[in-house]
Amino acid sequence: MLGSFVVRVRPMKSVCYQYCTGRLLHGLFLHLMERVNPSLAGELHDTKGQKPFTVSPLFGHFLTDSGAKKALEEEEYWFRFTALTEECCEALVRVFYGEAIPNATVMIEETPFLITATDLAVGGRRGWSGLLSYDDLISTANGEPEITLCFQTPTTFRQGKINYVLPDPNLVFGSLLRKWNAYAPKKIPQEIKNFIFERVGVSQYRLSSRLYDLGDHSLIGFQGKCKYTVLGDQNEMTRYLNILADFAFFAGLGQKTTMGMGQVRRLG
Amino acid sequence: MLGSFVVRVRPMKSVCYQYCTGRLLHGLFLHLMERVNPSLAGELHDTKGQKPFTVSPLFGHFLTDSGAKKALEEEEYWFRFTALTEECCEALVRVFYGEAIPNATVMIEETPFLITATDLAVGGRRGWSGLLSYDDLISTANGEPEITLCFQTPTTFRQGKINYVLPDPNLVFGSLLRKWNAYAPKKIPQEIKNFIFERVGVSQYRLSSRLYDLGDHSLIGFQGKCKYTVLGDQNEMTRYLNILADFAFFAGLGQKTTMGMGQVRRLG
């Protein structure tokens, strides 16, 4: 099961953030999971490497106030949690559609936020929300030879000791492949790596780097749009590539996807 | 010897271009070389692979006229030829500072252009012009751990069958290394390739793709700025990297540098 839970919130007082809100929402995510499934929460916290969820930053209109970002009392903001396993999706359904949040109020760090709405497009995707099975995702994927990804929040890869901030097709789809094969019931064959190296090129883009402040350290990432094109004849591999591109919506991309980095979705 | 000859011109009548002017200036380059050194001109024309010169497009203010670019009679334009060998530099000195161009007029395709000035910063670099020895370039290169390149015209690399349009450090400096070692009297050791892979990262950029129409076909390239940072302790390899970055001014970068692509210079 794949889920993306969009949560619309309004701060009960204005609040300034010195660094990324993804880190604070990561804390909220674990806190809410703890309420509905303590053993899962512990597991998600302790797991090293791949994790079956992502957390976005807080999106919306911020004022810039001497270096800090200020969220305003009267404004609406939103964030999303995504989940890549049945257990994780179920826990999030219980969080947002059960009794887990008294007075529809969550604490983001020390500020109470009122939940004004939650979006969950059951059986599909709408905007940034969605809930569907891996089989649904596979059966709705097409065989388009052109795939455009929008990197909504700073995205970056690790390559040895290097923080690699270019959307190289091998890194983008290689990273999605690892995550897919970690959680999906039907695996995608490793042969797709050769296909990507030999046949998938970048054909159009507009991108720039952006510093993402995680609080205790910062990472450079890239934002913008990038189109990938499959060269030559299309085959089953092209369909796998489309599956991975659609999967990015739930899986996120690259490093620190549980702290707001790598929020990605396909365009068109 | 390394030379960059900037030529300022004014069209004697307005003229429309359907595709890149780099291809037309390539024709002019060979035609002018033919006048001063026919055997060299033949050699440059026939050589496959690396060539010891580059040709820019025509720079300046163009009007866009139903898809075509229009150069205006009353405007000044400029282009540059660069050369990476003594013989090539000498021939270009004879072209622009000898008697090779009667009435200071050159034909770009079928349009006469008046040469209004030629720039050549002897012993250094000024703007886009310069003339210096490989030894001068080596001795003036510093050991900066940060290098920013400005990709002035669309730049692209070939990787297998893929036209690769991201400024990957390995491709950027690997391409410069090959060209340096083809023409420079003092070689740079191949070990720098490992150093680049392990220690050179992209740290800041703003880039976008752009279609470059070569007339008989088009290639996608990228334009913009990209900063590279050497991680960890600096050593002799950092100095080699700086030499290659400075060399890019004369060498151009990537594919089709004799047709106007890959015009690059270091900033700062």
SS (H, E, C) chain A: CEEEEEEEEEECCCEEECCCCHHHHHHHHHHHHHHHCHHHHHHHHHCCCCCCEEECCCECCEEEECCEEEECCCCCEEEEEEECCHHHHHHHHHHHHCCCCHHHEEEECCEEEEEEEEECCECCEECCEEEECHHHHHHHCCCCCEEEEEEEEEECEEECCEEECCCCHHHHHHHHHHHHHHHCCCCCCCCHHHHHHHHEEEEEEEEEEEEEECCCCEEEEEEEEEEEEECCCCCHHHHHHHHHHHHHHHHCCCCCCCCCCCCEEEEC
Q: Mean of the per-residue pLDDT values for chain B?
A: 96
Element (H, E) at B235: none
pLDDT given for residue A260 in this prediction: 98
Residues of chain A contacting residue B231, judged by C-beta atoms under 8 Å apart: 161-162
Q: Do A198 and B165 touch (CB under 8 A)?
A: no
Report CA-CA distances (Å) from B198 to A266, B231, B235. Answer: 31, 9, 14
Distance (Å, rounded) from C-alpha A59 to C-alpha A57?
6
A104 CB neighbour count, 10 Å cutoff:
13
Residues of chain B contacting residue A204, judged by C-beta atoms under 8 Å apart: 209, 220
Whether residue B99 is predicted with pLDDT greater than 90 in this model: the reply is no
Distance (Å, rounded) from C-alpha B122 to C-alpha A217?
47
Summarised one tens digit per residue, pLDDT across range A193-215 is 999 999 999 999 999 999 999 99
For residue B211, the chain A residue with the least C-alpha distance is: A204
Q: Do B166 and A161 touch (CB under 8 A)?
A: no
Over residues A110-126, mean pLDDT = 94
Whether residue A105 is predicted with pLDDT greater than 90 in this model: the reply is yes
| DSSP three-state, residue B79 | strand
pLDDT given for residue B134 in this prediction: 98
Q: Give the range among A8-17, A65-74, A130-139, B18-27 with minimum mean pLDDT.
A: A65-74
Residues of chain B contacting residue A220, judged by C-beta atoms under 8 Å apart: 203-204
Token couple for B52: 């010891």
Distance of residue A24 Cα from the nearest chain B Cα, in angstroms: 26
Whether residue B166 is predicted with pLDDT greater than 90 in this model: the reply is yes
Best residue in A149, A159, A202, A230 to probe B by mutation, most B CBs within 10 Å? A202
Distance (Å, rounded) from C-alpha A141 to C-alpha A137?
6
Phi, psi for B56 (deg, rounded to 5): -90, 170
Phi, psi for A96 (deg, rounded to 5): -95, -20
CATH architecture, range A137-267: 2-Layer Sandwich (3.30)
Residues of chain A contacting residue B166, judged by C-beta atoms under 8 Å apart: 166-168, 202
pLDDT given for residue A182 in this prediction: 97
Distance of residue A204 Cα from the nearest chain B Cα, in angstroms: 5
Distance (Å, rounded) from C-alpha B263 to C-alpha B78?
14
Q: Do B206 and A202 touch (CB under 8 A)?
A: no
For B201, the closest of A162, A198, A206 (CB atoms) is A162
Topology of domain A2-130, CATH:
Alpha-Beta Plaits (3.30.70)
Parse chain B into domains and list their residue ranges: 2-130, 137-267
pLDDT given for residue B74 in this prediction: 86
ipTM, two decimals, is: 0.93
Residues of chain B contacting residue A167, judged by C-beta atoms under 8 Å apart: 166
Q: Do A166 and B164 touch (CB under 8 A)?
A: no
Do the domains spanning A2-130 and A137-267 agree at the CATH topology level?
yes
For A161, the closest of B168, B206, B231 (CB atoms) is B231
For A160, the closest of B164, B165, B198 (CB atoms) is B198
